[in-house]
Amino acid sequence: MTAPTILMLEDDAERLERFWAVTDRLGVELLTWADARKMIVALPAHLASAALISLDHDLVPIHDIEPGDGLDVAKHLATFPPACPVIVHTSNGLRGDAMVGELELAGWAHHRVSPLGDDWIEADWFRVVKRLLRKRSRPE
């Protein structure tokens, strides 16, 4: 049996190290993108096998190339039938609300994890992911 996969939009290297440490503890594969447009292109190849998706909003341009943002990905996801839960983990309140709105209108299960405190990834994000993975593994 292959490990569950989390698809993630995140561009902060320090956060990514912490996300990888948490997903290692959970025995989960983590696929990451720092560019929303590249993630959008890759989604069709990974969406069917994704256990969940986690999206940041604000991304830093890479070599002066605009990487898009989490709202771009949420809008794109909304064009697909719901496939798995989505966690919105942005500190951008207004854009996070817009991301959640897109997902909600399209019927996607969604959760907010606010990046507050020094251990939000290890505590809050971990707890939500663990609960969602446990829910996924229960037989219907």
The domain spans of the chain are 5-55+70-128
Homologous superfamily of 5-55+70-128 in CATH? Response regulator (3.40.50.2300)
Q: How far apart are the first and last CA of the chain?
A: 19
State pTM to two decimals: 0.95
Specify the residue for token string 């569950």: 4
Q: Which residue has the higher pLDDT, 140 or 6?
A: 6
Tens-place pLDDT, residues 55-96: 999 999 988 899 999 999 999 999 999 999 999 999 999 999
Q: Residue 18: what pLDDT?
A: 98
* pLDDT for residue 1 is more than 70: no
SS3 content of the chain, % helix, strand, coil (to 5): 45, 15, 35
